[in-house]
Amino acid sequence: MKMTFQGSTWGTHFIIFSLLRAASVENPAALNKLISHFAEDMSRLARNGVYNSIGARRVWIMHIGVKGDLPALAKIGALERSFTRMARHVNGRARCPGICWLCMAGKEGETVEDSVAFEEFHAEAKWKGTMMLESPWSSLPPIMRGLPWTAGEEPSFLKTDLWHNWHNGLGKIWLACSFVMLATMDILQGGSIDAKFEELTVEFLSWARRFRISPYLRQLNRDSFSFATNNSNPQGSWSKAAVTTQLMLFLSFFLEARVVGRTDDPILCGIATELLELHQYAKGTQLMNIVLSVLYAEGYWIRGCTAKKMGLMMRSFLLTYQECAYSVCKEWLNRFILVPKAHMISHTAEGLIDDGTRCQWAPSPLATSNQQSEDNIG
């Protein structure tokens, strides 16, 4: 079964209703009212079904999930545990109840034993044992009312979006930090950071010409990576997800040509910290480029062995990201920040590994991405 990424969005996606932001601001109850009417219809279709025009055949339709970016899911689920609750300060007064609706990740308890870190990406991460342990809402959200669902697993109705989590999330931070690290190392010839960014821009535009790619960004500079000063926390400043794809391909190419191809000597890499770090960036970039190109080439169902492999590679990327965060932290640099979207990508990775281990076929995580739905947002 193919995915619905090809062709016009109007031909594969059907709008039930839309609501202007201005109308929603004027009448905040309107959205929930519309959702309640929709949920009533969906509940009837799941329980009673619908007959065809001559009354000879009945079909039942099951609403199997709602997808959206993290703010949309937090709103539609009236989530009490969401990314907005992330602890901002070490000594913050209010304890974080958790940042994820699926598990207790991010929960700050009275003791370490009672707390659950969301920054764990390894196979035995503590949050994995807390899935569906506590409800993330005080009452079932209107969108689920009347819907037959496994008791205790209602939060799984809200589906996370790999495309937002990566292309408009962690991928932007990974790229910004990697390019900033490149511009602050001695691998480029320019004397100043700005001169090194100019050199990177020349290389990027020449790469784009060579591979016949129309670059959305014409310049790689401090603004592109929100890097005003050395204390800035680099993040991609673009809003177009395709920029992330283009820059990931270029970064991989650049690192392969300038670093990996330059030396494979493990001792030399071990001695030169910079080279070792660059090898980390090359490895992480390659891993995610492979995972995404494989997932986009697959259909809705992915063979179990492939799904497991992709999940393991995604987990490996997250562990590489964490190693980078740890090494810059030791140097008191504000880079590779650990954000809730990294935890959501960890759910996707672990889901692929679990499905791939248990089943012959696994559903693609891109089935719950929203890139095409964005066409309907004005």
Binding site for Zn ion (CB under 5 A): 100, 102-103, 105
The radius of gyration computed from the CA coordinates of the chain, to the nearest angstrom, equals: 23
Q: Of 232, 352, 343, which is closest to residue 292 (Cα–Cα)?
A: 352
Q: Cβ 129 to Zn ion, closest distance in Å?
A: 11
CB of residue 351 vs Zn ion: minimum separation in angstroms?
11
Residue closer to Zn ion (CB basis): 126 or 258: 126
The residue among 120 and 298 lying less far from Zn ion, judged by its C-beta, is 120
What residue number has its CB nearest to Zn ion? 100
The Cα–Cα gap between 12 and 154 comes to 27
Nearer Cβ to Zn ion (279/341): 341
Complex with Zn ion: residue 84 or 360, whichever CB lies closer:
84
**Contact predicate 165/348, CB 8 Å:** yes
* Residue 315 beta carbon to Zn ion: minimum distance, rounded to whole angstroms: 14
- Nearer residue to Zn ion within complex by CB, 277 or 350: 350
Q: How far apart are CA 88 and CA 237, in angstroms?
A: 21
b (16+ CB within 10 A) / e for 252-261: bbbbeeebbe
Residue with tokens 């995915």: 3
* CB 160 to Zn ion: min, Å: 9
Which residue in the block uniquely carries the two structure tokens 């697959």? Answer: 298
For Zn ion, the closer CB: 99 or 217 = 99
Pairing outcome for strands 158-159 and 66-67: parallel
Query: Is the Cβ–Cβ distance between 67 and 368 less than 8 Å?
Result: yes
For residues 176 and 244, is the Cβ–Cβ distance under 8 A?
no
Least separation, in Å, of the C-beta of 165 and Zn ion? 12
Minimum CB separation from Zn ion for residue 341, in Å?
A: 11
Give the residue with the Cβ less far from Zn ion, 196 or 341: 341
Measure the CA dihedral 183/186/191/193, to 10°: 20
Residue 152 CB, nearest approach to Zn ion (Å): 16
**Residue 50 three-state SS:** strand
Phi-psi region of 135 (alpha: psi -120 to 50; beta: other; left: phi over 0): beta
Smaller CB distance to Zn ion: residue 103 or 200?
Answer: 103
Q: How far is the CB of 159 from Zn ion (least distance, A)?
A: 13
Please report, for the chain, how many H helices and E strands are present, in that order. 12, 6
